[in-house]
Amino acid sequence: MEKQLLDGHVVSKEIRDDLKNRVFKLKEQGITPCLATILVGDNSSSETYVKMKGNACEKIGMKSIRIHLPEQTTTEELLEQIQRLNDDTNVHGILLQHPVPEHIDERLAFETISLEKDVDGVTSAGYGQTALGFGKFPSCTPAAIMEMIHHYQIKVSGKFAVVVGRSPILGKPVSAMLLNEDATVTTCHSYTENLPSILKQADIVIAAVGKPNFIKGEWLKEGVIVLDAGYNKGNVGDVDFDSCYQKASAITPVPGGVGPVTITMLLKQTVIAAEEKLNTMNQIA
């Protein structure tokens, strides 16, 4: 059986090359796409992620604004910062880095982000639109998974897809997106009984459970397509790669699979937000 390694770097480069041209055209018309990232507290991993996103913006000609708030920031103070960015016409996308300190109402903060600037797909309205099939900005990891499926021309319609994980920014939205493309979808989670027997039937497996090496090759059928959205300590995904590789016809590596495309989708959705802003301005003019 021929095996295909689904390389996220290849997909990411193709998208970013296109985005560079789109950013250049926007700049010619007086708009520089701008992503604002908010980090609350001193989580070193979060600091690294925010820095990576800012660097990625700069490489394609976008602008990035980093707002670093102290650990003791209150919910009200955070909401004021978000509202200020909502009102700033030069900001096209807003990202609140997860997690925030426990004393902050994170859901309320997410909901304060303007839908037009919710390029990370964290608002309930954005999620609802994604589920209904007309969302502009789905959560970035589900968007990356679907982008890889489209790039590699993986047939989804009529296939049985099993999503392992039900988080509101990964498992749930990617289940809805697969369903919208005519897959038959089962969403599994920590309470699912007989998980191996369900996975054994799957044509497509999306691993999004947050447990290293959790899904085993013996649980899968020959020829399955595996997209691993997990990223755990030690640079390992949610599937046991070696054993799953033996069964799969196509599989994403970790690192180098879904991850690079996830950041790229954040850039893409910010560029789209800037393009829509320009269209609105032209219509008013």
- Residue 120 a catalytic site member: yes
- Residue 29 a catalytic site member: no
3-state helix, strand, coil in the chain (%, to 5): 45, 15, 35
The C-alpha atoms of residue 109 and residue 40 are separated, in whole angstroms, by 12
Choosing from 53, 63, 247, 268, the catalytic residue is: 53
Q: Rounded to 5 degrees, what are φ and ψ at 127?
A: -65, -45
- Residue 97 a catalytic site member: yes
Choosing from 81, 97, 129, 269, the catalytic residue is: 97
Q: Are 201 and 221 in contact (CB under 8 A)?
A: yes
Q: Are 163 and 201 in contact (CB under 8 A)?
A: no
Where do the DSSP E strands lie in 41-106? 63-69, 93-96
> What does the radius of gyration of the chain's CA atoms come to, in whole angstroms?
19
Contact residues for 237 (Cβ-Cβ < 8 A; gap 6+): 207, 212, 213, 228, 229, 230, 231, 252, 254, 257
Residue type, 98: H
For 140, the 3-state DSSP assignment is helix
Choosing from 7, 118, 120, 238, the catalytic residue is: 120
40's enclosing H/E stretch is strand 34-40
The C-alpha atoms of residue 64 and residue 215 are separated, in whole angstroms, by 37
For 220, the 3-state DSSP assignment is coil
The C-alpha atoms of residue 145 and residue 150 are separated, in whole angstroms, by 9
The residues carrying an active-site annotation are 53, 97, 120
